Amino acid sequence: MVQVSQALVAGDSDAFFVTVPAAAVGPAECALLAEGAQACRLPAPVCASEVTERSSRGGMILNNLSLCYQNKLILAPMVRVGTLPMRLLALDYGADIVYCECRGIKPRALSMLELIDLKMLQCKRVVNEVLSTVDFVAPDDRVVFRTCAKEQNRVVFQMGTSDAERALAVVRLVENDVAGIDVNMGCPKEYSTKGGMGAALLSDPDKIEKLEDTLSLVKRIERTGVAAIAVHGRKHEERPQHPVHCEVIKAIAGTLSIPVIANGGSHDHIQQHLDIENFRQATGASSVMVARAAMWNPSIFLKDGLRPLEEVMQKYIRYAVQYDNHYTNTKYCLCQMLREQLESPQGRLLHAAQSSQEICEAFGLGTFYKETTQEIDARRVELLAKTPEEVGEPAEDTSGVIKMAVKFDRRAYPPQITPKMCLLEWCRREKLAQPVYETVQRPVDRLFCSVVTIAEQKYQSTLWDKSKKLAEQTAAIVCLRSQGLPEGQLGEESPSHKRKWEAPAQDPGGPRTQKPVPPGELCKKPFSTLDNGEESPLEGW
């Protein structure tokens, strides 16, 4: 099934929706919707008899039960917010349907945008037996979309697309792991419209100024065969501080026979659970989609009333650790919940946290973090024992390889220094060939191990890392430590360490009198982002 939505988070930092209720869809766009709706429809129609066909495929339970959009509470798609921990938390508190985050990656930037078809088509579906999840993994080994059996019958996958064939290919990729597909037709931001997605699917929106034109638009969309339409009650140029147009949503709901999902009430209407039903009645909609109010406190879906924020945040953190959510995303979502309390003692602890462990410690969950990570490691070891042939040793012959049990901790190094940089500079100073890194990925848990070769000697850590870049840094540490060389850590500024980086001793009367080049000065490149969320000045090193 396809749900065509006119709502999408419109900003990288502010989780709010913008819609274009007065816009026209051209023949090409309607053809896209019709083709997608026909291709993506699950075997049973919306709200039809609940005939369930279950089978096991790739570790997940498949369920061909169609998703019903009548009288539902829905977690809206939100940039950087709607990851797996937030979706599961919303379901725990009473949400009926949850949307995945609108996520993508701008070139050379951290900004999270919508999941576009081109990005998803590069992904590979991977069953993560350690976490009991299904991951869609990009070529750079980033998890673009992660889901689990607990949400399978209630998660909607939203994407941006401008091509029916690409959209269909994405649907085929995710159809066994989600309950519905949503096509974004509302985002007015350049990153969507420039690619022909979002509001660009609505041709000539500026020419449509009357409510009658909007009603004509939604009727035309309905005829394509979509299951439901989500409407955000604001115009293209309006933002969250502007009043939501309940009367427009109500007019649309009264015009269509398919479910209409009302969105945009967080600012004016939704402060507690009872307000959700009041907003639904004010708009005449079938269901209500909640964005910012749920981002601030997901227990807004709870009939018994809002839970204390600290309790909600601790529950969110538990999910984040259990499903290995990246700490930067966890930190971002927690900051949205704290809001005006960011300057409190706990807010300052959160702001200073540079790992999932530090986040847990800031909220009194240090023991939970330790126990949970130990359980995850134990499952990983158990799986490795069952599938030794899939381990994938990092070298054909490990004899003669110098090994240490070490890992790279970004916090232990200055922003401009990494072990790989230090090793490269040492090789240049000693007139050795540049380090050669060979990295393999272990299929069972998708961890990485790297071997670095210097002057025909190999060095390797016995501990595996979450990314190729981290594994290479770890291998460099093994080499540096085995040679007694400084690796650039904080606190290595002692004279003895400095002398190790100085040029060979010169005759007092010799011609060379230049100052030694400190680590990190041989190359000045713009900062890029490592897989651990930190910045490195040397991309690809």
pLDDT in tens, 267-299: 889 999 999 999 999 999 999 999 999 999 999
At 387 the pLDDT is: 62
Contact by Cβ (8 Å): 260, 252:
yes
Q: Which of 3, 1, 8 minimizes the C-alpha distance to 193?
A: 8
DSSP string, 35-72: HHHHHH--SSPTT------EEEETTEEEE-PPPP-SS-
Amino acid in position 417: I
Chain segment 96-134, per-residue pLDDT in tens: 999 997 654 343 333 334 457 778 888 999 999 999 999
Q: Per DSSP, what are the bridge partners of residue 9?
A: 17
Contact by Cβ (8 Å): 487, 461:
no
- Write the CA distances from 214 to 197, 238, 260, integer angstroms: 19, 16, 14
At 399 the pLDDT is: 67
Amino acid in position 506: Q
| 3 state SS of 296 | helix
Which part of the chain has CATH 3.20.20.70? 2-304
Residue 68: active-site member:
no
Q: Is the dihedral of CA 28, 34, 39, 42 positive or negative?
A: positive
How do the pLDDT tens digits run along the chain, 541 residues long? 333 343 322 222 222 222 322 233 334 444 444 444 444 333 222 222 222 222 222 333 334 457 899 999 999 998 899 999 999 999 999 999 999 976 543 433 333 344 577 788 889 999 999 999 999 998 878 899 999 999 989 999 988 776 778 888 888 999 999 999 888 765 444 444 454 444 444 554 444 456 777 788 888 888 888 889 999 888 777 777 888 999 999 999 999 999 999 999 998 899 999 999 999 999 999 999 999 999 999 999 999 999 999 999 999 999 999 999 999 999 999 999 999 899 999 999 999 999 999 999 999 999 999 999 999 989 988 887 776 544 444 444 456 899 998 989 888 899 889 999 999 999 999 999 999 999 998 877 788 999 999 999 999 999 898 889 999 999 999 999 999 999 998 877 543 344 444 444 444 444 333 344 343 333 333 333 334 443 333 222 2
Contact by Cβ (8 Å): 52, 71:
no
Q: Work out whether strand 60-63 and strand 73-75 pair parallel, antiparallel, or are unpaired.
A: unpaired
Amino acid in position 4: V
DSSP string, 221-237: HHTTT-S-EEEESS-TT
Contact by Cβ (8 Å): 41, 220:
no
Chain segment 4-36, per-residue pLDDT in tens: 343 322 222 222 222 322 233 334 444 444 444
Amino acid in position 443: P
- Per-residue DSSP letter, 400: T
Contact by Cβ (8 Å): 213, 248:
no
CATH 3.20.20.70 is right for the domain spanning 2-304: yes
CATH 3.40.50.2300 is right for the domain spanning 391-504+513-536: no
Q: Per DSSP, what are the bridge partners of residue 159?
A: 183
Token digits of residue 255: 């015009």
Alpha-carbon distance of 309 to 315, in angstroms, equals: 10
At 491 the pLDDT is: 78
Which part of the chain has CATH 3.30.160.20? 391-504+513-536
| 3 state SS of 342 | coil
**Is 365 exposed, middle or buried, given 0-12, 13-18 or 19+ CB atoms closer than 10 A?**
buried
At 7 the pLDDT is: 33
Q: Which of 324, 322, 314 minimizes the C-alpha distance to 359?
A: 314
Catalytic residue among 68, 123, 187, 479: 187
Q: Which of 11, 2, 43, 1 minimizes the C-alpha distance to 201?
A: 2
At 184 the pLDDT is: 74
At 115 the pLDDT is: 56
Please give the backbone phi and psi of residue 55, each rounded to the nearest 5 degrees, phi first.
Answer: -150, 165
**Is 375 exposed, middle or buried, given 0-12, 13-18 or 19+ CB atoms closer than 10 A?**
exposed
Alpha-carbon distance of 36 to 45, in angstroms, equals: 15
Alpha-carbon distance of 361 to 282, in angstroms, equals: 44
pTM: 0.69
At 370 the pLDDT is: 96
Chain segment 188-198, per-residue pLDDT in tens: 444 444 544 44
Q: Within the chain, what is the greatest distance between any pair of CA atoms?
A: 94
At 338 the pLDDT is: 95
| 3 state SS of 281 | helix
